[in-house]
Amino acid sequence: MTDSIMSKAATMEIPINSNGDTGTLPEDDSLEQAAKLQWSLDEKVGSSRGTRDLQQVMVSGPNLNETSIVSGGYGGTAEGIIPTSSIKGPAVRYNAEFNKRIPVTGLGSNMHHSSSSSSVTAEEMTRGVAVEKLETMKKWGLNTYKCTKQMISERFGRGSRTVDLELEAQIEVLRDTKRKYENVLRLARALTNHFYNMVQTQHALGDTFADLSQKSPELRDEFGYNAETQKLLCKNGETLLGAINFFVSSINTLVNKTMEDTLMTIKMYENARLEFDAYRSDLEELSMGPRDAVAMARIDAAQQQYQVHKDKYERLRSDVTIKLKFLEENKVKVMHKQLLLFHNAISAYFAGNQQQLEQTLKQFNIKLRPPGADKPSWLEEQ
């Protein structure tokens, strides 16, 4: 039985020589390779069941779809056997005996198909991104063209624009107020710089008087009085500088943050108004034209765009109205406090009322930093 099995197994191998051409092996080679195949199968299965299955397959006769190709020469291992059922396209096999590649037809069609499908998917994704960018650029260009056309028409008095007289007046008042407050801020900063230089000069003058009082015995009292006066003025000047700096900081926040935020919303509102008028004019032009099928489709699309920009315009107009109202309330509250602080601090300083000056700072919760404490300590930063 074993001899018949090995003889049938020998018929199921198609040997390949070193040139890649099929040929016939001697009888001993076929029998030896069949015996090695039988041994490897017995070792893998580990029972007589595997042997019986192999016998049934061999008795049923060789099948071209189940035959194998031996890639090695005489005495090659079982790892050199390639099932022909997996060979479906052109590929290259490796001949271990002669260390060179031998083309074998029928390998790698699945790999070629998967790589081609992945490349097609990547091309489709790239094409989709390009189309999306092109559409975005097209919409932006069309919107820019319409807005530019509307702006030029308004400049030359040919086009109509939507005007809210009450809101436009409030916006103009805000812009004028911002210009005036910026002037106040500029002057307050200039006052702070000049007064700081004066305080530093008084401090240096007081140190000089104190040094001269020690070196001039005949004028010790006079230099001492002046040194004490300059030190007192320097101390009061530093207190006043704290109040002025607080005033400048509050005005700067009001002008460059609160007002600027409202003006940014106003700018968005004005852009929305321009877009709304541009699409309104476009809809009016289309409505006065013919009424065929193509024109009606364009009118419907223009009506939708008009409604979208109308909603955006009304929403931003409402936002501007609310922000202007809250800005006015905040401005009055902040300026009432800061102007009272500025007046009381200046009056107390030039009146020489040190207690009143210190009381003013406590009233507005202003804390002065000691000299040399410009940078907070690591504990304060935590």
pLDDT in tens, 202-228: 999 999 999 998 888 888 889 999 999
**Do 268 and 316 meet the contact criterion of CB atoms below 8 Å apart?**
yes
> What is the per-residue pLDDT across 178-203, written as a single tens digit (0 to 9) for each?
999 999 999 999 999 999 999 999 99
What is the distance between the alpha carbons of residues 200 and 238, in angstroms, rounded to a whole number? 9
Find the DSSP H helices in the chain: 2-11, 27-45, 48-59, 109-155, 165-215, 220-253, 260-287, 293-350, 354-363, 378-381
pLDDT level of residue 16 (50, 70, 90 thresholds): very low
- pLDDT surpasses 90 at 324: yes
Task: Assign domain 184-368 to a CATH class.
Answer: mainly alpha
Record the pTM. Answer: 0.60
**pLDDT band per the 50, 70, 90 thresholds, residue 33:** low
Q: How would residue 104 be classed by pLDDT, with cut points 50, 70 and 90?
A: very low
How far apart are alpha carbons 346 and 181 in whole angstroms? 20
365 Rama class: left (phi>0) / alpha (psi -120 to 50) / beta: left
Q: What per-residue confidence (pLDDT) applies to 93?
A: 44
By CB atoms closer than 10 A (0-12, 13-18, 19+), residue 206 is: buried
Other C-beta atoms closer than 10 Å to the C-beta of 144 total 11
**Per-residue model confidence (pLDDT) at position 149:** 81
As a whole-number percent, the residues of the chain with pLDDT over 90 amount to 37
Q: Would you say residue 294 has pLDDT above 60?
A: yes
From residue 308, how far is each of 139, 176, 192, 269, 305 by CA, in Å? 14, 33, 51, 14, 5
Domain ranges of the chain: 184-368
Asked whether residue 342 carries a pLDDT value surpassing 70, the answer given is yes
Give CA–CA dist 198/328, Å, rounded: 36
Mean pLDDT, the chain, whole residue set: 75
Highest mean pLDDT out of 125-129, 216-220, 289-293: 216-220
Residue 238: pLDDT band with limits 50, 70, 90: very high
Q: Is the pLDDT of residue 175 over 80?
A: yes
pLDDT on residue 150: 81
The pLDDT value recorded for residue 162 is 87
How far apart, in whole angstroms, are the C-alpha atoms of residue 274 and residue 281? 11
Q: What is the mean pLDDT of residues 320-336?
A: 95
Query: What confidence tier does 100 reach under pLDDT thresholds 50, 70, 90?
Result: very low
The span from the CA of 18 to the CA of 4, in Å, is 29
Q: Are strands 81-83 and 68-70 parallel, antiparallel or unpaired?
A: antiparallel
231 pLDDT exceeds 80? Answer: yes
Q: Where are the alpha helices (DSSP H) in 91-219?
A: 109-155, 165-215
State in Å, rounded, how far the first CA of the chain is from the last one: 91
- Spatial distance between the Cα atoms of 202 and 61, rounded to a whole number of angstroms: 118
Q: Which residue has the higher pLDDT, 327 or 365?
A: 327
Segment 340-351 mean pLDDT? 93
The reported pLDDT for the residue numbered 146 is: 81
Torsion, CA 235, CA 241, CA 243, CA 247, rounded to 10: 180
